[in-house]
Amino acid sequence: MTRPTWTATNRRKFLKQVGSAAIASVSIGGRIGSAQPSSATLSESTGAHLKGDATVLENTRPSSITGSRVIHINRRYLNIPIARKGDARLFQLSMNGVVQREFPLQLAEDFIDYWIFLYVSEFDGQTVTLSGPATETALSRMYQSDEIAGAATLYKERNRPQFHFTVRRGWNNDVNGPIFYKGQYHLFWQAFPFGVIPDNGFMYWGHAVGSDLIHWRELPPALRLDTLGSPWSGTAFVDHRNDGGWGKDALVLVFTAYDRISQKQVQCIAYSTDDGVTFTRFAGNPVVDSNRELGTTQTRDPKVFWYGPTRCWVMVLFEKDGMSFYNSTDLRSWTRKSHIQGFHECPDFFELPVDGDIGHKKWVLHGGSSSYLIGSFDGATFTPESSELRYAEGKNMHGEDVLYAAQSFAEMPNDRRVQMAWGRIAEEGMPFSQMLLFPTEFRLTTTKDGLRLLATPIKEIEELHLNRYAWSSLSAEDANQKLRQIAPGPLHVKAQVAIEKDTAVTIRYQGNSLATIQSGDFEGGRGSLEILIDACVAEIFVDGGKRYIIRETPLTARSQGLEFDLKRTGAIFNSLEVYEMRSMWSEK
């Protein structure tokens, strides 16, 4: 679970961009499932974190109004109006006097900026009470439906990426435990479905499924809050041997539970025996609680996998100042074996063949950012054999890495190593915020600089190709003339380029510079260039991933599309292909 520290300047910029909401610092006296309503203490604060500590935003005022509404549930969704600049206040959904859910809302009292929704079909045929600090008028505007509000324009919004995953409503951040399981891909992520500014004390595990890594169908949350707290980041795997005792081939989630009162972070398990439709918390949670031992609450984001040579389960866990490695044979009892300093949260850890040689493999360890180490692993200890390297570059408008909290898919067919990452980009004016970057496939390749981890777009991108334009032997000026016939929009560009020594080409889109590629980025000045352009984001892959550049693209009304700036007239493009892209949200 991501925990960047923001400066006051960055924080003000973020609030200005996504809408200056006010979220309360909430001290909860009760718990989910409690018959006693919890009390909320609202306080102002000048500090905030995007993740980690419970998010606290400014200008929160206590409300003397307490309202409630009784609702007989007979539809799938409860649609709720939201005001971007409204104060976020704590609401409860109760049934028979027992609190079923608690969540903060910027409930619109007057003007409605957008709508969010709650899944309520689990209460079908039951009567529930929704209560919180709101007027009767505001509560009355909520309504039940089998469609979410705005369904007619869903995935067609102006700033909605068309081939990068985004949630229908609310906020996403870290990718959690992606996995291929029983014929379909499962994608999980940190979700705040109640608005576009998150509160870390109320995060869920979002859940979607798909058949091809491209098209996704969003499902109800896999995990919500329980008595141990909010389910933060973690991993997914298949227990093929029933080591945990929850059933052969059960789909298991290991995650951090964050208690917003004590700030404790402990490691927990949930499992599914119905093919990932529902998940049950393990009654013996937590399975790892190292807070007291280490003298810190910074213990989170477990990555778990089976290690065959020593026949044990391995957990890589961020603890305090780096990554710890734990072992277990039953998934219930864990022993710390080693610790390596230097990486921060959200570990991914995997083995790859070197230059495609399955007889020669190395392990790759990275944390929340794209920094990584290459080394060896014996089931208990990781031994680095490289300096700290990076496989991606690019900052968002707040100066932070765009790529963050990536995870690779487990149980992949043909042992592919495919990863998806949180793209830290806020889409202006939308009822959702952030995205996932396009899936990339990893390989370990020997380069002139040594062994490197390279990322390239997955081959399945071709399923989204629509209109194709192709040319050969073009100068930059010729290429720009050809490109003017292609309107701005979702594009996939592939080129073979030749750049003279000590020269460079700048890639521009809608008048904004995306990247400058130097002749030295290619061996002998020749190589490949691949560009993905979507709403709000561009991803550029130089020479098969030797550079992977991510750029946030500013909102503009300019009509010009893709351009190349090169201060010479000779041929630069041996070949240039441009594909207009169909939406991933359209029917296959």
Would you give per-residue pLDDT tens digits along the chain (588 residues)?
764 433 333 333 333 333 333 333 232 333 355 443 333 322 222 222 344 333 333 333 445 568 999 999 999 999 999 999 999 999 999 999 999 999 999 999 999 999 999 999 999 999 999 999 999 999 999 999 999 999 999 999 999 999 999 999 999 999 999 999 999 999 999 999 999 999 999 999 999 999 999 999 999 999 999 999 999 999 999 999 999 999 999 999 999 999 999 999 999 999 999 999 999 999 999 999 999 999 999 999 999 999 999 999 999 999 999 999 999 999 999 999 999 999 999 999 999 999 999 999 999 999 999 999 999 999 999 999 999 999 999 999 999 999 999 999 999 999 999 999 999 999 999 999 999 999 999 999 999 999 999 999 999 999 999 999 999 999 999 999 999 999 999 999 999 999 988 889 999 999 999 999 999 999 999 999 999 999 999 999 999 999 999 999 987 767 789 999 986 656 699 999 999 999 999 876
Domains and CATH numbers, the chain: 8-152 (no CATH), 169-457 (2.115.10.20), 463-581 (2.60.120.560)
How far apart CA 546 and CA 440 sit, in angstroms, is 13
Q: Which helix (H) or strand (E) holds 18?
A: helix 8-18
> What is the signed CA dihedral for 557, 558, 564, 570, rounded to 10 degrees?
170
pTM above 0.85, yes or no: yes
- What is the predicted pLDDT for the residue at 65? 66
Q: What are phi and psi of 123, to 5 degrees?
A: -100, 15
In the chain, the amino acid numbered 89 is R
Name 340's bridge partners: 323
> What is the signed CA dihedral for 289, 292, 298, 300, rounded to 10 degrees?
-10
Question: Are 35 and 98 within 8 A, CB to CB?
Answer: yes
Q: Whats the size of the chain, residue-wise? A: 588
- What is the predicted pLDDT for the residue at 35? 43
Written as six digits, the tokens of 258 are 């964050």
Written as six digits, the tokens of 89 are 């206040």
Question: Are 420 and 401 within 8 A, CB to CB?
Answer: no
Catalytic residue annotation = 174
DSSP assignment string, 46-84: S---SSSSPP--S--------EEEEEE--SSEEEEEE-T
3-state DSSP assignment of residue 488: coil
How far apart CA 232 and CA 214 sit, in angstroms, is 25
- What is the predicted pLDDT for the residue at 43? 27
Give the list of residues 6+ apart from residue 42 with CB closer than 8 angstroms, or none: 24, 25, 26, 60, 61, 62, 89
Q: Which helix (H) or strand (E) holds 291?
A: helix 291-294
Beta strands in 388-464 (DSSP E): 389-390, 403-408, 418-423, 432-433, 435-436, 440-447, 450-457
Beta pairing, strands 382-384 & 371-377? antiparallel
- Taking the alpha carbons at both ends of the chain, their separation in whole angstroms is 33
User: Is the preceding peptide bond at 286 cis, omega within 30 degrees of 0?
Assistant: yes
